[in-house]
Structure 1
Amino acid sequence: MTDTTNALPPAEGLLTIGSFAARARLSPKALRLYDRLGLLRPAHVDDTTGYRYYRAAQVERARLVFLLRGLDMPLARIAEVVERQETDGQAAADLVTAYWADVEERLAGQRTLAHYLRGRLSGRSSELYATFEVHTVDVPEQWVITEKRHTLVEELPVWIPASLARLEAAAEECGGTTGSPFVVYHSEVSQESDGPVESCVPVADPEAARTWAAQHARAWNTTARLEPAHRLAYTRITKAQVANPQIHAAYEAVEAWLTEEGHTYAGPCREIYFTDWDTSGPEDEVCDIAFPIQPG
């Protein structure tokens, strides 16, 4: 049955939904939504009529929910903030600060992406690619230990460093590292496509590598394999350029160069991390964006 503003409260101190909505400066419709979402439950619901009743003390929570929804905050985080606010206002404020920092970081990335897309759609792609110099290098065959995983793009910033750290630690059991770690993209990785992606570390001892990979295959989907000799076309980017959309522009710059030079792809693209990420600054070169190509 529909709540009414004229229904009598079942006990002194309770407000009808209409009276409470007026005091909270919200609509009854909004209050019903907050109830349905589990963000603001009525103090009492009449078993017979279904009328909702609230306490005056719930006004502050109702207004807080309304304001937090204005930030497009997810429901789970709203619930966390309003619950924390009742016992620790500063902790609740810190939750809002952390959420908004995430929002601003996302907006900054989207702003940069919009700038990139405007240039691309207006036919100025060549200007975007001009900052990336493309070179080639011949890489000898090498044994690598690897982890492979299906993952979406938002998980990469966590999984890549974690997997490479595990592999570099394991390399000590495999004769040590013999080259820079790299990440191979066997298929598209995006918000809709999950690869797979393979983290790789070159090692010196093939037999030890095979033994280690067999021992850890179940936990980390590890392998040891021989990476054949190949030629790479690559461009070098800074730590700041690893972020979207700059890294996409780097990939497209190499692909545009391959088309212009008439080269043929010989394998999946990869990112080669040749220096310590944690100690590098935003303008330090940290990574090669590379494509295997046919020699010639």
Structure 2
Amino acid sequence: MVDEGLLTIGAFAARARLSAKALRLYDRLGLLAPAHVDEVSGYRYYRADQVERARLVAMLRRLDMPLARIAEVVEAAETEGADRLAAYWADVEARVAGQRTLVEYLRGRLSGRSSELYGKFEIETVDVPAQVVITETRHTLADELPAWIGASLGRLEVAARECGGVTAAPFVVYHSEVSMESDGPAESCVPVADEAAARAWAAGRGRRWEAGVRVEPARRLAYTRISKAQVAHPQILAAFEAVEAWMEREGLEYDGPCREIYFADWDAAGAEDPVCDVAFPVR
């Protein structure tokens, strides 16, 4: 027998200002279960005090919040739920800001203003001697790349103490494209002084991080220097493309995968401070 205090799905839908179809979906997704389901008829019944949750779920879905995060918000205590919502929206705003920058970059390309974008970068060449590097390699997508670079270079710089110390600026090599569709791999590299010690380190403990050691050959690099703000996507794409356009004009050929060389203290640098060289090996 159904409790007289329960509402039919139609009455509850009207109270919650939702459709019965939406309520069935919320039930199926585990976000709002009926208080009672008739075993014979299959009719759903709800309590009046479930109205607020139903409306909250509907509004959160309008924010394109993933279902798992909606569940976290509606199950949390009042202030914790508000904090979870704030954290989600901060992520959304950061993503939209990045997309807005990408749109402006693409507008420049599509309107034929690429030469103007490339003209903002000064291109130079430098000869780099052969060096022993300890490395960490990972397949990673673009959204995970910045965090991985910081963590991997940090690990390698600690390990370098066992390998005679760091001898030059650390760098990241892209053996294949890293984007939201392509996962590289990327390789973090830290030049060290003692090759024998580096190989002993790699043999003993490096495998935990997909790490290794190799001798990076002497190279000539074509590069442009960029600020901390320009390291962000898609600004950094314009820097890579500017170097490639310059290489084509100069008749230079690729002599290895592209790289980012981090020569400054990232945490101490301001947005406009130079921190990174975007480079291609050339011949």
Tell me whether the two structures share a fold, i.e. TM-score over 0.5: yes
Question: Number of residues paired by the alignment?
Answer: 283
Matched with 2:266 is: 277
> Per-residue CA shift, 1:242-266, capped at 9, x if unaligned?
1111000001000110111110000
2:119 pairs with 1:127: no
Which consecutive residues of structure 2, in runs of 5 or more, have no partner in the other structure? none
Q: 1:3: which partner in 2?
A: none
Q: How far is the alpha carbon of 1:128 from its aligned partner? A: 0.8
Any runs of at least 4 consecutive aligned residues in structure 1 with deviations exceeding 6 A, and if so which?
Answer: none
Determine the C-alpha separation between the residues in 2 that align with 1:223 and 1:90: 47
Q: What is the CA deviation profile of residues 68-97 of structure 1, one whole-angstrom value per residue up to 9, with x for unaligned ones?
A: 01110010010000001xxx2111111111
Does structure 1 residue 218 correspond to structure 2 residue 207?
Answer: yes
Task: Give the C-alpha shift of residue 158 in structure 1.
Answer: 1.3
Asked whether 1:45 is paired with 2:45, we answer no
1:278-293 equivalent positions in 2, closer than 5 A = 278-293=267-282
The letter for the 2-side match of 1:91 is E
**1:282, 1:105 → 2: CA distance?**
16
The answer to whether the aligner puts 1:249 opposite 2:241 as a matched pair is: no
Please say if 1:67 is aligned against 2:50: no
Match for residue 10 of structure 2? 18
Q: Give TM-score, length-normalised by structure 2.
A: 0.98
3-state secondary structure, aligned to 2:205: helix
The one-letter code of the counterpart of 2:153 is L
What secondary structure sits across from 2:25 in the alignment? helix
Q: Which residue of the partner structure matches residue 5 of structure 1?
A: none
1:57 maps onto 2:49 in alignment: yes
State how far apart, in whole Å, the 1-side matches of 2:206 and 2:167 are.
22
Looking at structure 2, the residues matched to 173 and 258 of structure 1 have their Cα atoms a distance apart, in angstroms, of 38
Structure 1 unmatched runs, 5+: 1-8
Q: How does 1:1-296 map to 2 (within 5 A)?
A: 10-84=2-76, 88-294=77-283
Give the alignment's TM-score, normalised by structure 1.
0.94
Aligned mates of 2:273, 2:39 — CA distance in 1: 67
Which residue identity does 1:276 align to in structure 2?
A: D
- The Cα RMSD (Å) is 0.9
The percentage of counterpart residues that share the same residue type is 73
Counterparts of 2:19 and 2:236, CA distance in 1 = 47
SS at match of 1:281: coil
Q: C-alpha offsets along residues 218-261 of structure 1, whole Å, 9 cap, x if unaligned?
A: 31111111111010000001000011110000010001101111
